[in-house]
Amino acid sequence: MHELAMRESLERLAEHDGGRRLLQLALRSIERGDHELVSGCWTRKGDAGCLFQHAYWQGVADGVFADDGRARAWVTGVAGRHAYHRVIDVIAAFDRLARAEYAVERRRFGPPELDRERWRERVSALLVEVLGAGADPARNATRATVTA
User: Contact at 8 Å (CB) between 117 and 33?
Assistant: no
Q: Considering only CA atoms, which of 81, 65, 67 is closest in space to residue 19? A: 81
| Secondary structure of residue 49 in the 3-state scheme | strand
Q: Is 46 left (phi over 0), alpha (psi -120 to 50) or beta?
A: left
**Domain limits at 100?**
2-147
Number of domains into which the chain is organized: 1
pLDDT digits (tens, 9 = 90+) for 75-126: 777 777 777 788 888 989 988 999 899 999 888 877 788 899 999 999 999 9
pLDDT digits (tens, 9 = 90+) for 118-139: 999 999 999 999 999 875 555 4
Q: Is the pTM of this model over 0.85?
A: no
- What is the rounded CA–CA span in Å between residue 79 and residue 16? 8
